[in-house]
Amino acid sequence: MGQPRILLIEDERGLVQTLSWYFTREGYETIAAHDGQEGLRKAQTLLPDLVLLDLMLPSLDGLSICRELRAGERTRDVPIIMVTAKAEETDQLVGYNMGADDYVTKPFNNKILLQKVKALLRRVEGQGDPGDVFEHLGVKIDRIRHRVTVGTDKVDLTPTEFRLLECMVRQPGRAFSRHQLMDAAIGEGQIVLERTIDVHIKTLRKKLIDVGGAAELIETVRGVGYRFREAVQEEVAT
């Protein structure tokens, strides 16, 4: 990866200047947008390596931008970190449900934000390792192309959803705790809510069901967490 390009969608111009200076000093290219419409347009046309996205923006709010980026063919895999003053648990859950990969509340430490950016970019870059194509119960994961298919149908996943599914499909039948899934999909040491994984699992199940009835492949393990089904369930004749 060359010089990573970060798009800052933020209407606080002082904060944009500070972050632009800080990330440029650390070796990143930065692009700024001060309202939602401008930010969405730049994300769609310039295809940054990562987006730092405020929620409360003029002309178009951050959640709408996140939704548009996740729906776009060219932008659905762009990592998104929401940076916002909205610190309530419900706000964070909505952000993750919309497809955000991480959520940082203001005020924040620039060094911690930098580490989150680095960790997320490392995970995305690492998805190009050779030989990472595997399949179980009709769900095929191609890490080289960052693609998931069920049969012949493509499943559009966020980067976090992709890593979450990959973790479980690699070891079908194994019960993962929520903390283990958070470490695998979001990153070790990240401070997130346990319910964050429940939100991701809910959206992941819905997406699998929507592409050909891959229902109940992700099983809830009561008192533990989740697992990917190990074998096809046989129907009992009546």
Q: What is the pLDDT of residues 160-172, one digit of tens each?
A: 888 889 888 888 8
pLDDT tens-digit readout, 58-100: 999 999 999 999 888 778 889 999 988 876 777 778 888 888 8
Preceding omega of 107 cis (within 30 degrees of 0): yes
Query: Domain 5-126 is in which class?
Result: alpha beta
**168 Cβ contact partners less than 8 Å away, ≥ 6 residues apart:** 174, 176, 181, 218, 226, 227, 228
Q: What does the domain layout of the chain look like in residue ranges?
A: 5-126, 130-228
Compute CA distances 134 → 62, 143, 168, 177, 214, whole Å.
35, 9, 12, 23, 17
CA distance linking residue 20 with residue 1, whole number of Å: 20
- Res. 130: pLDDT tops 90: no
From the options 3.40.50.300, 3.90.1150.10, 1.10.10.10, 3.20.20.140, give the CATH code of 130-228. Answer: 1.10.10.10
pTM above 0.85, yes or no: no
Strand partners, 52: 8, 81
Distance CA 49, CA 113 (A): 15
Is the pLDDT at 221 greater than 50? The verdict is: yes
17: enclosing H helix or E strand: helix 13-25
Distance CA 57, CA 65 (A): 10
Fold agreement (5-126, 130-228)? no
Tokens representing 123 are 């995970």
